[in-house]
């Protein structure tokens, strides 16, 4: 099924006719959390950054 982009308050969103394609903000937040966690784990595993460095960066924000 294809979706057509629509403009809402200067943000383009996909318009879907299938309710199963719609996700809540909570679902998006949880998904984002897992994705960020996976990226951090990968960076740490490769020795590019430590969790401590990540936490320091977050605290600076």
CB under 8 Å to 49, separation ≥6 — which residues? Answer: 40, 43
Distance CA 27, CA 29 (A): 5
User: What's this model's pTM, rounded to 2 decimal places?
Assistant: 0.60
Which residue in 4, 21, 26 sits closest to 13, CA to CA? 4
pLDDT at 60 over 90: yes
**Angle value at C-alpha 33, between 47 and 58, nearest 5 degrees:** 60
pLDDT tens-digit map of 6-47: 555 555 566 666 777 788 889 999 999 999 999 999 999 999
Domain ranges within the chain, ordered by starting residue:
20-60
């Amino acid at each position: 099924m294809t979706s057509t982009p629509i403009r809402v308050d200067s943000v383009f969103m996909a318009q879907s006719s299938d309710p199963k394609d719609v996700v809540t903000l909570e679902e998006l937040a949880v998904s984002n959390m897992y994705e960020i966690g996976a990226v951090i784990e990968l960076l740490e595993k490769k020795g590019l950054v430590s969790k401590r460095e990540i936490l320091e960066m977050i605290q600076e924000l």
